[in-house]
Every structure is written in C-alpha cells, then in structure tokens.
C-alpha cells in the first residue's frame, strides 16, 4: 500500500487544521496516511498550537514513505525557522539519494492576502527538488482557487490559508481553503499511487538507461 506522510509545523493552529484536511483528502484514495509534526525548535518564536497528540517525526523514517507533504506558516516570505531547520538536517538523506523519486508537496499560511505565500511554497519546493523528489502542486482542476466572490487562499504551487488581517491570528481556514487542502492531498496521493505502481524509481531509471543503450 502507498504510504504518505503529512508533516507540519504550526504556531497558532492554522497549519494544523490544513494538515488534517490534507490527510483526509489523501486517505480518500485508499492510501495509508500518517500525520506528524516536526521536532520542537529551541528558539521557537511562539508556542505551537493544534498539535495535540500528533506524534513527532524523525529524519530516519522519511524514506519509509512514498510521498511527503510539508506544511509551514510563512515568515517574511519564507518558511518558518523550525521547518527550515528540519529540512537543513536532511543532508544524510540527500547524500544517500534516499528521497529520490518520492512525491513531495507543500502548503502554507500567511497573515495577509499577499504575505509571501507563493514565495514560501516555491522555496520549499526548491528544497524538495534538491532531494530528488517529484513535486506536486494544487492544479487548477480545483476550481476553488479561481473564486472571486470571497477572500481566499490557494495557489497552483500548493494549498494556502490566510490567518488574519491583524496580529491576532483569529481568522481560521475557510471552507474553500480546507477543500483546497483536501484536493491537494487526494491529488498527490493518486500520483504517488501511480508512481509506486511502476516499481522502485531506481529500477525504472535503470530500465530507461538500458533501453537507451540498446537503442
């Protein structure tokens, strides 16, 4: 069975809500989906909320999954420091090509409509591509991201939510934003299932090289 990890950092609970929606969407495909958060960060800028009983992921377990979806709030147009610190510790997996061919996705939140969401998503995707992951976004087949009748997050690079127009962080993810997160989870899971059906990526690459040599 295809195994998917939804891995997040949430300071005020918004990303935790989005992570649960991503998890729900991925599970609809029949995949085995695990929800975890990243380890605590010593210099945390705010107390984390919304984690509850969600277990903490370890770096060594990441290669056990066929796909990983990363979620983090935006901080000055980039990922939050705890998520950046976690990704920076994946050097050993990078050196072993341990995540090559795994499917990866990202989602985020910001405190305003134009709070750097897309730059955050793209910077995270760049990290996943350095690890050799196959990056999957939120396609426009999710029509909710083209809505003009309400304020909403959503991006072709990944699902997003807007936390608040002020400093209180009191706006929760909207129905449309949560639907986008569910859609992304299901979309990514289906692609992961399809890739897994072709066999290990190393075997597929080797077969392609042999076919090229024979040709």
DSSP state of 57: P
Whether residue 13 is annotated as binding a ligand: the answer is yes
Whether residue 130 is annotated as binding a ligand: the answer is yes
DSSP state of 90: -
Residue 10: Cβ within 10 Å count:
24
Best CA proximity match to 79, nearest among 13, 138, 10: 10
Question: How far apart (Å, rounded) are the C-alpha atoms in residues 41 and 4?
Answer: 24
Whether residue 119 is annotated as binding a ligand: the answer is no
Please name the residues in contact with 207: beta carbons below 8 A apart, sequence gap of 6 or more.
none
Whether residue 74 is annotated as binding a ligand: the answer is yes
Whether residue 15 is annotated as binding a ligand: the answer is yes
Whether residue 108 is annotated as binding a ligand: the answer is no
Question: How far apart (Å, rounded) are the C-alpha atoms in residues 202 and 101?
Answer: 8
Whether residue 114 is annotated as binding a ligand: the answer is no
Whether residue 161 is annotated as binding a ligand: the answer is no
Strand pairing report for 67-75 and 78-79: antiparallel
Whether residue 146 is annotated as binding a ligand: the answer is no
Q: Which residues are annotated as a binding site for substrate?
A: 94
Q: Which residues are annotated as a binding site?
A: 10-15, 74-76, 94, 130
Q: Which residues are annotated as a binding site for NAD(+)?
A: 12
Q: Which residues are annotated as a binding site for FMN?
A: 10-15, 74-76, 130
């Amino acid at each position: 069975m295809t195994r998917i990890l939804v891995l997040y950092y949430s300071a005020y609970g918004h990303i935790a809500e989005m992570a649960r929606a991503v998890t729900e969407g991925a599970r609809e495909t029949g995949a085995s989906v695990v929800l975890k958060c990243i380890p605590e960060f010593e210099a945390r800028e705010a107390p984390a909320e919304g984690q509850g009983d969600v277990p903490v992921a370890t770096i060594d377990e990441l290669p056990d999954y066929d796909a990983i979806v990363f979620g983090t709030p935006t901080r000055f147009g980039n990922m939050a420091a705890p998520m950046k610190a976690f990704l920076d510790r994946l050097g050993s997996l990078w050196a072993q090509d341990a995540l090559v061919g795994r499917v990866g996705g990202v989602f985020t939140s910001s405190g305003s409509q134009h709070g750097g969401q897309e730059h955050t998503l793209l910077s995270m995707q760049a990290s996943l591509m350095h690890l050799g992951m196959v990056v999957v976004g939120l396609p426009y087949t999710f029509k909710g991201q083209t809505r003009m009748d309400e304020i909403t997050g959503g991006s072709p690079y990944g699902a997003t939510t807007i936390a608040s127009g002020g400093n209180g962080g009191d706006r929760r993810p909207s129905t449309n934003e949560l639907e986008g997160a569910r859609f992304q989870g299901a979309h990514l899971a289906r692609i992961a299932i399809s890739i897994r059906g072709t066999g290990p990526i190393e075997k597929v690459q080797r077969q392609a090289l042999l076919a090229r040599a024979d040709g």
